[in-house]
Homo-oligomer: A and B are copies of this chain.
């Protein structure tokens, strides 16, 4: 059989057209490459090159061999990637979210239950999240839709209420105790994260006259928020997790509207029930 390094040498020569150039590019000496080409011809029992005294080029057979070799090398690289990806998929729990809130607490729970597993988090819209669960991209998803399908297990996880975050000087802080409604602050300009999932659809619909300044990066968002007097958003969950209410420069007021509350569910494929048994029992045992 032909060892891989010979195929690599052939492909390199085909790409760089001279032995010297090819040798340099694959970091071997030029005579070594010359010998490899001879060895390849020897193994195949076939002439692959037209040789003159100081010129060597692939003949028709050689060109064919080179393109076949390239295919094989590509496939070998693909194999490496597939094996590594498969292995890593065995050692990571991949979670898809349609809202960001739970993303801040679920990984630490999972990590406690499965200390040897890596955790990958991803946020996309509802549709992509569900599709990702079905095609095994995600091991579990957090969705605001309670999908009830025969092949799924759906467990109510919790709910999140949207808050407005204001500077203490803002006139709307008078609502502090009773909460306020979207229409009370419709027209306000908000700073918000670009990645808030379905929340974005909700606030845009309920406050059509507002402007929303999106920030891609969470750190820069919080920096901008702290240095400006613009309104922003939070939820009961994020306020608790980040102890945001200890920050004296911001007042948090809940929205009273029913659309300001999102219930969400942890959904997994039934086929993964055993694999995620600890997690399921943790959820049900709360």
Contacts and interface: CB of A to CB of B under 8 A. Distances in A.
Q: How many copies of the chain does the oligomer comprise?
A: 2
Given A72-B75, A75-B72, A46 B83 contact: yes
Contacts of A72: 72, 75-76, 79
A213 interface: no
A136 interface: no
**Secondary structure class of chain A's binding surface, majority of residues:** helix
Interface of A: 1-5, 8, 44-47, 60-61, 64-65, 68-69, 71-73, 75-80, 82-84, 86-87, 90
Contacts of A68: 78-79, 82-83
Contacts of A87: 44, 46-47, 61
A3 B8 CA distance: 10
A61 B44 contact: no
19 contacts: A1-B4, A2-B4, A2-B76, A3-B4, A44-B80, A44-B83, A44-B84, A44-B87, A45-B84, A46-B83, A60-B90, A61-B83, A61-B90, A65-B79, A68-B82, A68-B83, A69-B79, A72-B72, A72-B75
A128 to B, nearest CB: 26
A75 B74 CA distance: 12
